[in-house]
Amino acid sequence: MDSTRVTEYPTSFERPTAGADPADPRGALLHTPAPAHTPGAAALPAPSAEGRAGETPAGPATGPDGAFEHSQPPAGQAAEPDHRPRPVPETIPAQPGGDTAPAAGPERRTGQVPAPGRPTPMRRDGDRLRFVGAATRRIARGMDLDEIVMGLCRATVPTFADAILVYLREPLPVGDERPSGPLVLRLRRTDRIPADRDTEGGFMPAVQPEPSELDTVGSELCEVRPGSALAEVLRGVRPVFTDAPAARAALPELLGEGGEFAVPGGQRAILAPLRGRRRVIGAALFLRGPERIAFETDDLLVAAQLATHSALGIDKAVLYGREAYIADELQRTMLPENLPRCTGVRLASRYLPAAETARVGGDWYDAIPLPGSRVALVVGDVMGHSMTSAAIMGQLRTTAQTLAGLDLPPQEVLHHLDEQAQRLGTDRMATCLYAVYDPVAHRITVANAGHPPPVLLHLGGRAEVLSVPAGAPIGVGGVDFEAVELDAPAGGTLLLYTDGLVESRLRDVWTGIEQLREKLEATAELTGADHAPPLEALCDEVLDMLGPGDRDDDIALLAARFDGIAPSDVAYWELEPEDAAPGRARRLARRELARWGLEDLTDSVELLVSEVVTNAVRYASRPVTLRLLRTDVLRCEVGDDVPQLPRLRQARATDEGGRGLYLVNRMARRWGATRLSTGKVVWFELNR
């Protein structure tokens, strides 16, 4: 005997045209074929035209598709078991329309007979609940302002309305800010049923609203005057039909003069204020064309739910946008905006946040010019990538710049950074690598505090991981740091980086360092052994080694190309602190400029060197140093053992001195003074 065969019939929610998701712009006007006539079934009398909501009709009630709303079969028929599944749909049921719509009687809530070919309203409270649930989920998916407003429009048109206009405050207040100036609303977005519809797959062309009614509604800006009809409607918070006297009087102010005549009458428009957590931030106008049935009273509740969820989402989006803006500004100010132009070295850098939603972190880099044409190269990483980490990073970077200005050795800089981190808190941990490059000696001094070691790419294409003592991280306390001095050959490239470049969930740090070394060698092969790869392109190639799963932390990268200064471009002397020192300095400078072919600068250099050396020997007790450097500019450096820095001041007419620095300031391209651990250096530069 054959097993019982159960035939499953699709429910009204399972038909291809059964649901209208707010995401589907065609949802409200789906073509639903008329149900076939069942022989033997009792004819249904049409309900009386006087039917009202809440009255019991004389005959059996019918559903939207002309079927029985109750499950009792007609008289004389046996009740068959109903094996059809009845899932609860995620979207609202279809609204029949078109010439094939069933010939139903009056709508049981309004008593009105919908005309053929026109959409019918949502017939049950369950329809509205399902629509509100699907619409609010779509609105809640938006992260920024445009996504939330677009979600409201797409969820509304055409399921709930034929058109929608969304006005938002200009500018939108953020949090507890008190807006200044008049309340101005700007038309943020307007959506209408598109002119062409997909007629394939069972979808029918939509009945288009009249251009004179819906397409002309809306003005760009409107100012809400205190005490006006629009201000009173917005203050009321609740959605209202625009055929109400107060709302009708508010339409000219919202839509412009004459705009109220374009809005359909007969409860076909709803004006819903958008109220955030503390104040009204806009308004939404829902419109239905005259060919569509009017809104019902229950639709005001639907509009209220849509307006509330949209306003709260807009509030959150504005707060999130402000937080992202603050984070971007904080990160921009914490990191150097431009790298300095230093003698004998070229620099390039990159910074990548951990993710678009976490644009701040604790990684930083820096390049600090030092006396004697040296440069300090710094890279560090504060644990975490939050706003707190960025703030701590800014404090440590400022401290490092201050310590570099004192010309302290690298290990001393790390020692003071360690003390500063302990003063900031017990859990303020960071790693840091501090290096000082001397282009004259072609040497680099490096001290490390728990940071990944730097990688040196030689001119021949060989990449080398420098052997630098790891040390303990900053913030541990009570740890001695060790500095090492290494060769910095001309043409070499030093890469300083944070662990986000070489460490991730998919690889350990030493595997990443080896991959970085191989990547540098592969890039160097493309340019040949005699040419170093361009710095900017090299940084981009290094970042290309990152895979999809390698962005667990933010990344800071600093690349330094060592050009150095040739010994033939350097002249150095020591002068005894005596009265004859300025004259000897002038003779030495004149002779060296003649050897370099810079006779045109002789007069200026002699005058400025004489003034600076005179100020040095007046107070110095040890020999004064004089050094000339020939690069793209001519640089002169005078050092002594007096720590007090000279200050530029305007000499009075009766003063015998005090005009030396004034001459330097007027004639030199740049000048400055830097304090050293053994005194100070005063320098100036002249264009060649």
DSSP-assigned states of every residue in 199-232: -STTB-PPPPPPIIIIIT---SEEEE-TTSHHHH
User: What is the dihedral angle through the alpha carbons of 320, 322, 324, 330, rounded to the nearest 10 degrees?
Assistant: -150
Q: Are 153 and 286 in contact, with CB atoms under 8 Å apart?
A: no
Confidence check: pLDDT of 87 > 90: no
Higher-confidence residue of 56 and 654: namely 654
pLDDT bin (cut points 50, 70, 90) of residue 221 is confident
Does the pLDDT at position 94 exceed 60? no
**What is the mean predicted confidence (pLDDT) over 86-112?**
43
Return the higher-pLDDT residue of 5 and 449: 449
Distance, C-alpha 219 to centroid of its chain: 31
CA-wise closest residue to 565 among 633, 658, 665, 646: 633
Q: What is the mean pLDDT of residues 154-181?
A: 83
Side-chain half-sphere exposure of 235, counting CA atoms within 13 A: 12
Enclosing H/E stretch for 646: none
- Of 437 and 661, the structure prediction assigns the larger pLDDT to 437
All residues at 6 or more sequence positions from 371 whose CB lies less than 8 Å from its CB, including other chains? 407, 637, 639, 674, 676, 681, 683
Span of 29-43, 576-590, 620-634, 664-678 with lowest mean pLDDT: 29-43
How large a percentage of the chain has pLDDT more than 70?
A: 74
- pLDDT band, very low/low/confident/very high, at 19 (cuts 50, 70, 90): very low
Q: How confident is the model at residue 236 (pLDDT cuts 50, 70, 90)?
A: confident
> What is the predicted pLDDT for the residue at 91?
43
Q: Which two tokens stand for residue 516?
A: 């970085």
pTM attached to this predicted model: 0.64
In contact, 443 and 484? CB cutoff 8 Å: no
Q: Based on C-alpha coordinates, what's the Rg of the chain?
A: 40
Strands of the 183-192 sheet, one edge to the other? 221-224, 183-192, 163-169, 280-287, 269-275, 240-241
Residue-level pLDDT at 280: 85
pLDDT at 99 over 80: no
**635: pLDDT strictly greater than 70:** yes
Q: Return the pLDDT at 549.
A: 61
Q: Evaluate if residue 289 carries a pLDDT over 50.
A: yes
Q: What is the DSSP string of 15-50?
A: STTSEE-TT-TTGGGB--PPPPPPTTPPPPPPPPTT
SS3 per-residue string spanning 626-641: EEEEECCEEEEEEEEC
CB-count burial class (<10 Å; 0-12, 13-18, 19+) for 54: exposed
Backbone angles phi, psi at 198, to 5 degrees: -75, 120
Task: Give the pLDDT score at 550.
Answer: 63
Q: Which residues of 99-130 are buried (b: 16+ CB within 10 A; e: fewer)?
A: eebbebbbbbbbbeebeeebbbbbbeeebbeb
Taking the CA atoms of residue 582, residue 586, residue 591 and residue 592 in that order, the dihedral angle to the nearest 10 degrees is: 90
Out of 202-211, 234-243, 396-405, 555-564, which region has the weakest mean confidence (pLDDT)?
A: 202-211
Is residue 156 scored above 80 in pLDDT? yes
Residue 609 makes CB contacts below 8 A (sequence gap 6+) with: 582, 585, 586, 589, 626, 636, 638
Q: What is the pLDDT of residue 117?
A: 45
Do residues 389 and 398 make contact, with C-beta atoms less than 8 angstroms apart? no
Q: Which residues contact 318 (CB under 8 A, 6 or more apart)?
A: 145, 172, 173, 174
pLDDT above 50 (res 207)? no
Q: Round to whole Å and give the CA distance between 183 and 165.
A: 18
Q: Which pLDDT belongs to residue 358?
A: 62
The pLDDT value recorded for residue 1 is 47
Q: Which positions ≥6 away from 405 have C-beta within 8 Å?
A: 368, 674, 675
Residue with tokens 């890039």: 523
What are the tens digits of pLDDT across the range 338-389? Answer: 899 888 999 999 998 876 666 677 899 999 998 878 999 999 999 877 788 8
pLDDT in the model for residue 414: 95
Residue 17 has pLDDT above 70, yes or no: no
Average pLDDT of the chain, as a whole number: 78
- Tokens in use for 290? 């005259």
Q: How far is CA 302 from CA 54, 130, 200, 295, in A?
A: 20, 11, 31, 10
- Answer for the pair 644, 679: CB distance below 8 angstroms, yes or no: no
Percent of the chain at pLDDT above 90?
Answer: 37
Q: Which amino acid is at 81?
A: P
Q: What pLDDT, on the 0 to 100 scale, is given for residue 217?
A: 54
- Residue (of 436, 556, 560) closest to 495 by Cα position: 560
Looking at per-residue pLDDT, the higher value among 373 and 39 belongs to 373
Of the listed ranges 253-257, 259-263, 302-306, 409-413, the one predicted with least confidence: 259-263
Q: Which residue has tokens 């440069």?
A: 375
Q: Is the pLDDT reported for residue 648 higher than 80?
A: no
Q: Is residue 98 very low, low, confident or very high in pLDDT (cuts 50, 70, 90)?
A: very low
pLDDT over 70 (residue 612)? yes
User: Average of pLDDT values for 17-46?
Assistant: 40
DSSP state of 474: B
Q: How does pLDDT run across 511-551, given as a tens digit for each residue? A: 999 999 999 999 999 888 788 899 999 999 999 888 766 67
Least confident of 95-99, 280-284, 438-442, 585-589: 95-99
Residue found under tokens 């940084």: 539
For residue 75, pLDDT beyond 60:
no
pLDDT of 66 higher than 70:
no
Confidence bin at 38 (pLDDT 50/70/90): very low
Answer with the residue of higher pLDDT: 279 or 606.
Answer: 606
Q: Assign 122 a pLDDT band (cuts: 50, 70, 90).
A: low
Q: In DSSP terms, which residues pair with 639 in a beta bridge?
A: 625, 681
pLDDT band at 24 (very low <50, low <70, confident <90, very high): very low
Higher pLDDT, 54 or 142: 142
Instruction: Give the pLDDT of residue 424.
Output: 86
pLDDT of residue 360: 74
